[in-house]
Structure 1
């Protein structure tokens, strides 16, 4: 006898899909809003009715953007956040916007990684009667865990810094088959491909600082922009 589909599986699949969308929105913030985390918000009522992400320092919070975009459709809708809201200056604009909009449920990918903010927004929302479900805690399944991983990745550098107390760093270098990164004469020639150099520029754009060797400063392009010579 065939068993019917578990309704929780369908519900988790829907939640996971919208959380992944919020994480994808948040990723658009990378490189533009440091030291703030990458925030994305999707509001859904059967379909997406509003969304937003933090696109520059000092701009409107992602949750507020999403609420304004959704308007009256917020009533009894669900808001999906890649990460728990949190502002180092103690502002509660995001939480206030969600509560006042009539949102009945908030699904959060991960708790805020900074200890002094972790759990504060979740508690504030619940105290206002909003249902809050956190992935990996209130919602648990394989498909939910995949969505949670996307939220971890989009703020990976912040999470690592919060846990280890040291900056997240990426080492990039190109090397020949015999282990060389440059000629002894100083003659420059591309080792890596155009595709990999494009990837390097993408990584630089998402980074707060770029550290180079002394000879790069003395002999190379000071703007590190000589990509396709």
Structure 2
């Protein structure tokens, strides 16, 4: 029996080109609604003849950027290696799948499928035009690189990281309320590095009133890191006009209410792709109860305090079978402390609700009717 044509696989040079495409993608803007995408074009011998990346909304997509560096007709018979499936959508720019077809590209290798309802489907359009398509090349690396953007595209909300620092017995403060410092300097430096890697940092009004945090990302000497998350305060209580958060180099977002999903929807509409939740047990518990957490960072100090001041409040768990299970991702030694990185185990990704608006590759918002 004829087994049919073999599924095409990537060559070693194409895999190497994908690593280079990921490097190129990192040149693009890390914040905002658009993904960072890189493209490398190889000739028939596997030699790199052009490179490109996406520089932000309204600019040429990575594939078109790379093609623009070739003389007319020079792309015919080449291979395009791209970190994200070429888009099949006309927004501020035209569809990359069509640009590749019209340029005469013979083969397209990409890492991750585009989850957008309108922007996806580029691979099928390429195949229909006779272009050989290889997908899933270095998908794990590309998924990790695009983690925040893919979360927005698939779930319609920003990526959420919840962080707390506690003693071994789960306490975040002594009985008198003192908490500085449970963890050591190495752990605190790591926290500030991770703050800077997120678009926004979130606390509740209780944390602002009790601790008056600046919510900045800082070096060990107290100077500001180049990248700063947008400070977000959630709750109904008034914040004093002299609060440190008002002096943040980026304007504070004050969200009234206690609904994590509503807050994430507001932040997504503002182009926020990742949120660092660092504000006390009330806010952390609310996000965990709502099932809106992607990563949990637990900084553990070899200290015992006892008492009631726990890192997490009531999660609504009445029996052990209903416990929120976490999958260990990594453990890091930070001086005398430990950082335990976990992700909540979850059911398969739910569809984006009908009528929801999510961001699509390199084009800005687009209406979506469901997850592919």
Q: Scaled by the length of structure 2, what TM-score is found?
A: 0.47
What is the match of residue 41 of structure 1? Answer: 39
What's the secondary structure of 1:175's corresponding residue? strand
- Deviations, residues 105-142 of structure 1 (Å, cap 9, x unaligned): 111212211233321x223333444332223xxxxxxx
- In the aligned structure 2, how far is the partner of 1:97 from the partner of 1:66? 11
- Larger CA deviation: 11-20 vs 107-116: 11-20
Q: Which secondary structure does the structure 2 equivalent of 1:211 belong to?
A: strand
> In 2, Cα distance between the equivalents of 1:97 and 1:88?
11
- SS at structure 2 position matched to 1:38: coil
- 5+ residue gaps, structure 1, are 1-7, 136-143
Pick from 92, 95, 98: which aligns with 2:97?
Answer: 95
Partner of 1:12: 11
Over alpha carbons, which structure has the higher Rg? 2
Hey, what does 1:153 align to over in structure 2? 144
1:23 counterpart residue number = 22
Aligned pair partner of 1:191 in 170, 183, 195: 183
Q: Determine the structure 2 residue equivalent to 1:173.
A: 164
In 2, the alpha carbon distance for the partners of 1:190 and 1:30 equals 35
Match of 2:235 in 1: none
C-alpha distance 105-61 of structure 1, shift in aligned 2 (>3 A): same
CA distance in 2, matches of 1:205, 1:59: 26
* CA distance in structure 2 between the aligned counterparts of 1:163 and 1:80, rounded to whole angstroms: 23
Q: Confirm or deny that 1:52 pairs with 2:52.
A: yes
2:63 corresponds in structure 1 to: 63
Q: What is the CA-CA distance between 1:16 and the residue it aligns to?
A: 2.1
Q: Which runs of structure 2 are paired with 1:110-121 in the superposition (5 Å)? A: 110-119=112-121, 121=122
Any conservation in 1 of the 2:193–2:217 contact (CA below 8 Å)? no
TM-superposed deviation, 1:171: 1.2
Aligned equivalents of 1:185, 1:82: Cα separation in 2? 48
Structure with bigger strand share is 2
Structure 2 SS opposite 1:43: strand
**Matches of 1:31 and 1:190 in 2, distance apart?**
32
Within 2, Cα distance between the matches of 1:204 and 1:55? 24
Cα deviation 1:31-72 (Å, max 9, x = unaligned): 32x322231211122232222222333332111221123446
Contact 1:31 1:205 in 2 (8 A): no
Given that 2:58 and 2:92 are in contact with CA atoms closer than 8 Å, whether structure 1 keeps it comes out as: no
**Structure-2 change in CA distance of 1:65 and 1:216 (3 Å):** farther
Aligned-residue offset at 1:170: 0.7
| Count of residues in Structure 1 that have an aligned counterpart in Structure 2 | 208
CA contact (8 A) 1:41 1:66 kept: yes
- Kept in 2, the 8 Å contact 1:174–1:192? The answer is no
CA contact (8 A) 2:126 2:133 kept: yes
Q: Root-mean-square deviation (CA), in Å?
A: 3.3
Counterpart CA distance in 1 for 2:143 and 2:123 is 18
Structure 2 unmatched ranges of 5 or more: 1-7, 223-372
Question: What is the CA–CA distance in structure 2 between the aligned matches of 1:21 and 1:84, rounded to whole Å?
Answer: 16
